[in-house]
């Protein structure tokens, strides 16, 4: 069942990257793949280039004297949509086809034979029951008896995992394109999981760095209208070195593109920063995290390290500019099932990211403070190409994300405790296919001043407004000042 084994990997490139895909290197041993069916029918698939392929069907009871040739003359990609152009020739007659395959919507549109060549995986045609021969009529007058009706020959079932198309002369041609549909799903998985990881990195950075800065509210023992209130969201005005640790976990549900996956993620982070007397902060952090997702036909896991720097400046009273810059490297493992076919493989994923934001402090009433904020998180990631368990070459996948976040946190600031609630609106500025462009996040937590030098922040948040995704996160940040 390898007639289409290299079609997407070698002809489609990174089919589902929002940015222009990079065609993978064609292995020297992957020129032609030949499959011989039980009846002697031979299917030869030849890769001619990154966007071209030829399939020749010969032999067997139907194609020995009249072979068929299917040419894919061009394959173009736009997000989750691929367009295939080509023709099929048999008996000296050539018919063209143009097909558009939307892996997200699971639809096929176009002209010519595309409705059959890219049809969903066939489950087999039920053989037609032969017609019982008609008993000859007994003549009442001398007449010629009626001949019995010849039984209808049963139709042979189509082998699962194969697709059919109609040649110009009306002959139904069976082609093993299960690998094509399988690899379409593999590329969609890689692209959508890259976007998911990018968004999780964004929420993790907001949780870790935000939790760190939030903890310093309680560490300073501040009340907004007391004599020791500093009005600085990155800590009190006294300079000093601090260290912090953060742990977090979240649960996920993902139904994008017809998926029905559930999973969870965990992370642990540590950081060190220095608070300047003027209100600025400069720090470094490192974290380890993992993600596991499972569904009826998919399994995905990733784990690795993230590290970077962060800082804050106070150009105006009660106004802070906060920025982060970092990188992440993860080991990725993906498994996808399509009928009787499967693809499993391991690779690596690299990500670089940065964020820039501004936040302020507004005193509302006794012991109540509002922290409005706005930020932009920018990320670029690449999943390396690899060869799966069946020898298929899977090309690399790139994904870009720009996420705008606008929101605020309402805090009750006591002497040793600071409960808070938060809300934000987020927009994907890249408008990536397969992702909700707009969504919200709601959160709540409390910060405790355990000692004059140690504080603890515990919080939780959930994503709202996504049509096919759910996410809930909990975390805690412990800070010690030297």
Q: Are residues 279 and 364 in the same domain?
A: yes
On whether residue 135 sits in a domain, the answer given is no
Cα four-point dihedral sign 211, 216, 218, 224 = negative
Residue 331 has what pLDDT? 93
On whether residue 73 sits in a domain, the answer given is yes
Q: Are residues 234 and 168 in the same domain?
A: no
Rounded CA-CA distance 268/455 in Å is 18
Number of domains in the chain: 2
CATH number at residue 431: 2.40.128.130
Burial (Cβ within 10 Å: 0-12, 13-18, ≥19) of residue 350: middle
Q: Are residues 254 and 168 in the same domain?
A: no
Residue 346 has what pLDDT? 92
Residue 223 has what pLDDT? 38
Q: Are residues 109 and 231 in the same domain?
A: no
Residue 125 has what pLDDT? 37
Structural element, H or E, at residue 209 = helix 178-219
Q: SS3 helix, strand, coil % of the chain, rounded to 5?
A: 10, 55, 35
Residue 285 has what pLDDT? 93
Q: Are residues 278 and 170 in the same domain?
A: no
Q: Are residues 165 and 291 in the same domain?
A: no
DSSP letters, 36-72, are E-TTS-EEEEEEEETTEEEEEEEEHHHHEEEEEEEEE
Instruction: Give start and end residues of each alpha helix (H) in 100-177.
Output: 114-117
Residue 80 has what pLDDT? 63
Residue 308 has what pLDDT? 92
Rounded CA-CA distance 343/308 in Å is 34
Rounded CA-CA distance 83/100 in Å is 4
DSSP assigned state of 257: G
Residue 481 has what pLDDT? 83
User: Residues 23-44, buried b or exposed e (16+ Cβ, 10 A)?
Assistant: bbebeeebeebebeeeeebbbb
Residue 132 has what pLDDT? 46
Q: Are residues 171 and 237 in the same domain?
A: no
Rounded CA-CA distance 214/233 in Å is 7
Question: Cα separations (Å) of 469 from 21, 127, 265, 306, 341?
Answer: 26, 42, 15, 24, 27
Residue 4 has what pLDDT? 30
On whether residue 411 sits in a domain, the answer given is yes
Paired sense of beta strands 298-316 and 281-294, if any = antiparallel
Residue 327 has what pLDDT? 93
Residue 425 has what pLDDT? 94
Q: Are residues 172 and 245 in the same domain?
A: no
Rounded CA-CA distance 143/140 in Å is 8
Residue 41 has what pLDDT? 83
Phi-psi map region of 59: left, alpha, beta (phi>0 left; psi -120 to 50 alpha): left
On whether residue 145 sits in a domain, the answer given is no
Rounded CA-CA distance 298/106 in Å is 16
> Rg of the Cα trace of the chain?
31
pTM exceeds cut of 0.95: no
Tokens of 302: 């990733």
On whether residue 246 sits in a domain, the answer given is yes
Domain span at 328? 227-481
C-alpha of 342 from chain center: 18
On whether residue 181 sits in a domain, the answer given is no
Rounded CA-CA distance 442/462 in Å is 6
Q: Are residues 113 and 250 in the same domain?
A: no
Rounded CA-CA distance 140/372 in Å is 101
220, 235 in Cβ contact below 8 A? yes
Q: Which of 434, 467, 438, 435 is nearest to 106 (CA)?
A: 434
Three-state DSSP at 480 gives strand
| Residue owning tokens 């709540």 | 444
Q: Are residues 329 and 451 in the same domain?
A: yes
Three-state DSSP at 212 gives helix
Q: Are residues 280 and 167 in the same domain?
A: no
Rounded CA-CA distance 474/465 in Å is 19
On whether residue 216 sits in a domain, the answer given is no
Q: Are residues 361 and 467 in the same domain?
A: yes
Residue 307 has what pLDDT? 92
Low-confidence stretches of the chain (pLDDT < 70) are 1-33, 47-51, 77-80, 103-108, 111-183, 210-211, 213-239, 257-258, 339, 433-435
Q: Nearest 5°: phi and psi at 370?
A: -110, 130
DSSP letters, 332-374, are EEEEEEETTEEEEEEEEEEEEEEEEEEEE-EEEETTEEEEEEE
Q: Which of 176, 205, 238 is the last residue of a domain?
A: 176
Q: What is the mean pLDDT of the chain?
A: 73
On whether residue 133 sits in a domain, the answer given is no
């Amino acid at each position: 069942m390898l007639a289409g084994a290299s079609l997407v990997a070698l002809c489609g490139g990174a089919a589902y990257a929002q940015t222009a895909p990079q065609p993978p290197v064609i292995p020297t041993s992957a020129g032609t793949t030949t499959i011989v069916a039980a009846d002697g029918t031979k299917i030869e698939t030849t890769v001619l280039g990154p966007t071209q392929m030829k399939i020749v069907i010969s032999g067997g009871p139907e194609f020995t004297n009249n072979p068929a040739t299917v040419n894919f003359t061009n394959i173009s990609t736009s997000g989750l949509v691929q367009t295939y152009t080509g023709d099929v020739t048999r008996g000296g007659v050539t018919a063209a086809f143009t097909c558009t395959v939307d892996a997200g919507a699971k639809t096929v549109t176009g002209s010519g034979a595309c409705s059959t060549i890219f049809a969903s995986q066939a489950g087999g045609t039920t053989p037609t029951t032969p017609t019982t021969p008609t008993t000859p009529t007994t003549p009442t007058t001398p007449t010629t008896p009626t001949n019995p009706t010849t039984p209808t020959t049963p139709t042979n079932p189509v082998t699962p995992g194969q697709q059919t198309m109609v040649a110009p002369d009306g002959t139904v041609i069976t082609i093993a394109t299960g690998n094509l549909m399988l690899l379409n799903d593999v590329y969609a998985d890689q692209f959508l999981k890259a976007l998911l990881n990018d968004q999780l990195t964004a929420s993790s950075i907001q949780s870790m760095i935000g939790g760190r800065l939030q903890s310093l509210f309680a560490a300073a023992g501040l009340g907004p209208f007391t004599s020791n209130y500093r009005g600085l969201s990155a800590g009190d005005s006294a300079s000093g070195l601090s260290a912090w640790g953060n742990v977090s976990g979240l649960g996920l549900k993902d139904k994008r593109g017809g998926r029905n996956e559930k999973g969870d993620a965990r992370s642990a982070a540590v950081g060190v920063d220095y608070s300047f007397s003027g209100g600025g902060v400069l720090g470094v952090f490192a974290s380890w995290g993992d993600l596991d997702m499972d569904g009826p036909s998919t399994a995905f896991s990733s784990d690795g390290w993230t590290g970077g720097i962060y800082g804050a400046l106070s150009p105006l009273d009660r106004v802070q500019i906060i920025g982060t810059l970092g990188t992440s490297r993860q080991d990725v493992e993906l498994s996808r099932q399509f009928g009787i076919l499967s693809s499993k493989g391991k690779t690596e994923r690299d990500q670089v990211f940065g964020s820039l934001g501004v936040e302020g402090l507004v005193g509302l009433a006794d012991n109540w403070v509002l922290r409005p904020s706005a930020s932009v998180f920018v990320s670029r990631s690449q999943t390396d190409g690899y060869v799966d368990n069946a020898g298929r070459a899977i090309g690399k996948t790139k994904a870009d994300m720009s996420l705008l976040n606008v929101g605020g946190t309402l805090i009750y600031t006591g002497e040793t405790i600071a409960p808070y609630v938060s809300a934000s609106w987020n927009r994907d500025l890249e408008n990536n296919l397969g992702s909700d462009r707009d969504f919200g996040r709601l959160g709540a937590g409390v910060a405790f001043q355990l000692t004059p030098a140690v504080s603890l922040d515990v919080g939780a948040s959930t994503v709202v407004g996504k049509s096919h995704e759910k996410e809930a996160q909990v975390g805690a940040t412990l800070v010690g000042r030297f």
